[in-house]
Amino acid sequence: MAAEDAADGMAPACLCVLCGLPAAGKSSLARELVGATAQRGWRAAVVPYDDLIPEEAFRTRKAEDNVGLQEPPTEWKIHRHAVLCCIEQFLDNPQSSAKLPSGCNMNKASWEKCIGALVQPDASVSHHAPLLFLLDDNFYYPSMRYEVYQLARKYSLGFCQVHLHCDLQSCISRNESRSEPVPAQVIVEMVKRLELPNPRKNSWERNSISLDTTEHVSKFDIQKVMELIFAALRNPQSPIEDNTEQTEADRLRCATSVLHQADQACRRLISEAMKTAKENHADPEDMRSLATQLNQTKATFLHDLRKQLLPEAPFAQGEDIDTERVVKRAVDVFDHKKTEILWRIMCENK
């Protein structure tokens, strides 16, 4: 397909989300897609979040992932938003796209490398050719992917998602051969957190496919992705709001509020349990074990609660939601687990 596609009813650009576990093959797929798009006369840029976001932001994320929800947004979330702001800035004015958003210390050299081929494309590539942004990240929560979708809606762009499925052991093995491997435990934990694109629950994820990358990416896989991208360019997202989108956005806000309150309630219950153990003269080793088990249980509880709330909770704008009741019912479950852990350790101590 030639570059004239852009003027033939196609969107000016497509945002393609590549999601999956670390070492699942996202970067390799992105390189293959850049070559495939060049053959069509399109312009493409890979947006690697790991290269753009400073390492200290990742360290902040890891620390906060262990203690539940945090307000205000973490530095890591701010940088993720900054990546999309940079893409938006390019869409608004390609000539000023090398400037980073104020207050952001994102890796400027990496960003300039991302957009280099877009700002100064090959002479054979038309300036009217479609743009393809390949967003390379884990994107393990739907909310992370939804932000990209919102940007596509705002500018009437194409939007699609490619999930790379690779079994855990293969990811860990590939990761170990990297110059800067991710800790294996991070990959193991991400398996628990990863929420795959699900068009049946989220209508905005309908333009999604899954590739099995345990072995390798085939030419047929590349063809499937290119067909998905072409379809997304042919059917750009509409900026017109509808009730379904508003309901999903409201549900996300309400669910976030419930999760935040549940997190605070769980913290208080853990504090009370630690106080009870201390008053019953638990030794230091038992105290450490109690704290570890309670915090791990809390993290799992909040993760499961989040998965339940986002797709299922019937939150809608203007609906009278008894948030206190929802939180209490959920926290009662954690309270029961907390009591079991506490008394098991107390009995063992005796």
The 10s digit of each residue's pLDDT in 148-196 is 999 999 999 999 999 999 999 999 999 999 888 888 988 998 898 889 9
**Poorest-pLDDT segment among 15-19, 193-197, 232-236:** 193-197
Residue with tokens 């506490």: 342
Structure tokens at 275: 């106080």
In angstroms, the first-to-last Cα distance of the chain is 76
Q: Which has the closest alpha carbon to 310: 258, 267, 265, 243?
A: 258
Domains and CATH numbers, the chain: 3-234 (3.40.50.300), 243-349 (no CATH)
Least-confidence region, from 1-10, 35-44, 122-131: 1-10
3-state secondary structure the chain: CCHHHHHCCCCCEEEEEEEECCCCCHHHHHHHHHHHHHHCCCEEEEEEHHHHCCHHHHHHHHHHHCCCCCCCCCHHHHHHHHHHHHHHHHHHCHHHCCCCCCCCCCCHHHHHHHHHHHHCCCCCCCCCCCEEEEEECCCCCHHHHHHHHHHHHHCCCEEEEEEEECCHHHHHHHHHCCCCCCCHHHHHHHHHHCCCCCCCCCHHHCCEEEEECCCCCCHHHHHHHHHHHHHHHHCCCCCCCCHHHHHHHHHHHHHHHHHHHHHHHHHHHHHHHHHHHHHCCCCHHHHHHHHHHHHHHHHHHHHHHHHHHHHHCCCCCCCCCCHHHHHHHHHHHHHHHHHHHHHHHHHHHC
The answer to whether residues 315 and 255 touch, using CB atoms and an 8 Å cutoff, is: yes
Tens of pLDDT, residue by residue over 293-305, are 999 999 888 888 8
Does 184 or 349 have the greater pLDDT score?
184
